[in-house]
């Protein structure tokens, strides 16, 4: 390999000054661009179309000459984002290690391919996430992510990260993964008992499930004094929610619990994490990921601290590789060292929020148009409206609820409600509840432009 890698002893988060980190990133980008211009089907075609040559992109600064890559580009042809290993690639760079899928339920789930080389990078990034979050050699993890139909980074990497860090991990496997194997997966009470037995110091999962678990533990008089850290990811989680969960932990005997929030992405197989509450979300591997913030309309860079559309560039991957990939969220980005931990890497200093048409329901990325299409396809419906809200509107931690308000026509036949539930579930893999209403009720509340999905959840602060 020709690229100048950082020395093995260099600490990418805390060991390099700005100049050296910049040099590492430039050399990684140059090597990535060489591979892309020779063997990345999507970008080769796209750049040829736009007349962009390899020589046009010499520095990190030059990246802005490249178009942004949308989620739609990726979803349309995910295989074209996988590098074809050239003759120089070694076995590690070539061997496919695993394929994870985006949580999106739009059309087909999108595969994200990692080679063995990438998997080692993922482990390094996962270890950095744990260091930023203050994990020590004395910690132990209870992984509370469920099994999913398609392999997903959350469950898998919450096993791999402790393995790479060298601390124990217990997988709780909440829920039943499949009716075919009813013995796989655990009920809530079994997981409360498991937590009481193993007394983990770290709970890691989606906030709504952890909240439910803590509530049930309290009902049963179970104590969890060992818990000192909670890692949450995958759902919006504001400061009120954080305070409520910390109270719940203290009631279970935790002395000084902390909660670290992650802004996770399948395309990172990890996430940007807080080192301390309010510190912002740190890019855990600046040698692997470059984060930019641009104006959502013009795609020109915004100043540090101004809200911008987040773009991810892979600096060192061999499987699926993306340049200036739009993560679909807007947030404020800063490049100054963290005042809390001193890490020199990008941080998001505000909670990212979605800008495109995709909506997250129960942790699934849903295209509202796919949902609407699935219901539109059924006969016997006078009108309908889809809305998503929190089960308890005042509680940001309460689960999402997808409601289909349905007005039947007089041609409706028996079993329509069940068919609506089935159609929506199979289209977006979220099970809705159906409320029967009069057509007038739906049309009365509708503005000049019908929205496919009304989101009644509070927008993140
Ligand atoms: Zn920090």
Q: Which residues contact 319 (CB under 8 A, 6 or more apart)?
A: 82, 83, 96, 112, 113, 114, 115, 118
Measured in Å, residue 116 CA sits from the centre of ligand 1 at: 29
Domains of the chain: 364-455 (3.30.300.30)
Is the predicted pLDDT of residue 5 greater than 90, yes or no?
no
Lowest mean per-residue pLDDT among 265-269, 369-373, 432-436 = 369-373
pLDDT in tens, 189-213: 999 999 999 999 999 998 878 988 9
Q: What pLDDT score was predicted for residue 325? A: 98
Alpha-carbon distances of 91 from 85, 117, 165, 287, rounded to whole Å: 10, 9, 25, 22
Measured in Å, residue 345 CA sits from the centre of ligand 1 at: 9
β-strand partners of 383:
407
Q: What pLDDT score was predicted for residue 460? A: 43
> What does pTM read for this prediction?
0.78
pLDDT in tens, 169-190: 999 999 887 889 989 999 999 9
Measured in Å, residue 274 CA sits from the centre of ligand 1 at: 7
Average pLDDT of the chain to the nearest whole number: 90
Measured in Å, residue 337 CA sits from the centre of ligand 1 at: 8
Is the predicted pLDDT of residue 270 greater than 50, yes or no?
yes
Measured in Å, residue 242 CA sits from the centre of ligand 1 at: 18
Average pLDDT over residues 425-450: 78
Average pLDDT over residues 326-347: 94
Average pLDDT over residues 235-241: 67
Measured in Å, residue 347 CA sits from the centre of ligand 1 at: 8
pLDDT in tens, 392-435: 888 878 899 999 999 888 778 899 999 999 999 988 889 999 99
Measured in Å, residue 130 CA sits from the centre of ligand 1 at: 12
Is the predicted pLDDT of residue 459 greater than 70, yes or no?
no
Measured in Å, residue 341 CA sits from the centre of ligand 1 at: 4
Q: Which residues contact 152 (CB under 8 A, 6 or more apart)?
A: 100, 101, 103, 145, 266
The answer to whether residues 425 and 394 touch, using CB atoms and an 8 Å cutoff, is no
The one-character DSSP state at 100 is E
Measured in Å, residue 285 CA sits from the centre of ligand 1 at: 13
Take residue 145 and report the two structure tokens written for it.
């992510």
Pairwise CA distance, residues 12 & 283, whole Å:
11
Q: What pLDDT score was predicted for residue 2? A: 43
Q: Which residues of 9-19 are buried (b: 16+ CB within 10 A; e: fewer)?
A: eeebbbebeee
Measured in Å, residue 102 CA sits from the centre of ligand 1 at: 28
Q: What pLDDT score was predicted for residue 321? A: 98
Measured in Å, residue 359 CA sits from the centre of ligand 1 at: 29
Measured in Å, residue 133 CA sits from the centre of ligand 1 at: 9
Q: What pLDDT score was predicted for residue 449? A: 43
Which residues have their alpha-adjacent CB atom under 5 A from ion ligand 1? 275, 279, 338, 340-341
Take residue 254 and report the two structure tokens written for it.
């935790």
Q: Which residues contact 264 (CB under 8 A, 6 or more apart)?
A: 153, 154, 233, 234, 270, 271, 272
Is the predicted pLDDT of residue 326 greater than 90, yes or no?
yes
Q: What pLDDT score was predicted for residue 3? A: 47
């Amino acid at each position: 390999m020709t690229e100048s890698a950082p020395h093995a002893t260099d600490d990418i988060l805390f060991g390099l000054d700005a100049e050296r980190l910049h040099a590492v990133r430039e050399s990684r980008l140059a090597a990535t661009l060489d591979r892309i211009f020779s063997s990345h089907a999507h970008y080769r075609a796209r750049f040829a179309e736009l007349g962009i040559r390899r020589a046009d992109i010499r520095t990190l600064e030059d990246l802005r000459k490249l178009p942004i890559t949308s989620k739609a580009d990726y979803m349309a042809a995910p295989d074209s984002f996988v590098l074809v290993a050239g003759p120089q690639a070694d076995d590690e760079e070539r061997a496919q290690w695993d394929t994870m899928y985006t949580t999106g339920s739009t059309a087909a789930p999108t595969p994200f391919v990692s080679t063995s080389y990438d998997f080692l990078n993922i482990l390094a990034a996962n270890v950095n996430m744990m260091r930023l979050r203050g994990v020590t050699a004395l910690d132990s993890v209870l992984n509370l992510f469920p099994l999913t139909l398609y392999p997903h980074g959350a469950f898998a990497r919450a096993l791999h990260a402790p393995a790479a860090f060298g601390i124990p991990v217990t997988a709780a496997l909440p829920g039943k993964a499949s009716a075919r194997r009813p013995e796989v997966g655990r009920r809530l009470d079994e997981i409360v008992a498991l937590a009481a037995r193993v007394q983990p110091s770290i709970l890691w999962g989606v906030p709504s499930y952890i909240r439910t678990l803590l509530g049930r533990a309290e009902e049963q008089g179970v104590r969890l004094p060992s818990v000192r850290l909670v890692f949450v990811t995958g759902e919006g989680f504001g400061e009120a929610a954080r305070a409520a969960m910390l109270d719940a932990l203290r009631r279970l005997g935790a002395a000084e619990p902390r909660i670290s929030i992650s802004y996770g992405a399948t395309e990172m197989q990890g996430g940007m994490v807080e080192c301390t509450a309010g510190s912002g979300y740190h890019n855990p591997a600046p040698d692997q990921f470059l984060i930019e913030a641009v104006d959502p309309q013009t795609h020109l860079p915004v100043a540090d601290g101004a809200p911008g559309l987040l773009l991810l560039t892979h600096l060192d991957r061999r499987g699926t590789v993306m340049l200036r990939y739009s993560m679909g969220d807007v947030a404020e980005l800063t490049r100054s060292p963290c005042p809390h931990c001193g890490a020199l890497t990008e941080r998001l200093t505000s909670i990212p929020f979605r800008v495109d048409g995709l909506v997250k329901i129960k942790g699934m990325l849903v295209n509202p148009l796919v949902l609407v299409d699935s219901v539109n396809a059924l006969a016997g419906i006078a009108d309908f409206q889809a809305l998503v809200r929190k089960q308890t509107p005042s509680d940001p931690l309460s689960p999402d609820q997808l409601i289909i308000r349905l007005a039947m026509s007089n041609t409706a036949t028996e079993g329509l409600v069940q068919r609506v539930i089935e159609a929506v579930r199979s289209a977006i893999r979220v099970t809705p509840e159906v409320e029967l209403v009069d057509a007038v009720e739906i049309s009365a509340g509708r503005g000049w432009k019908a929205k496919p999905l009304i989101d009644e959840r509070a927008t993140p602060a």
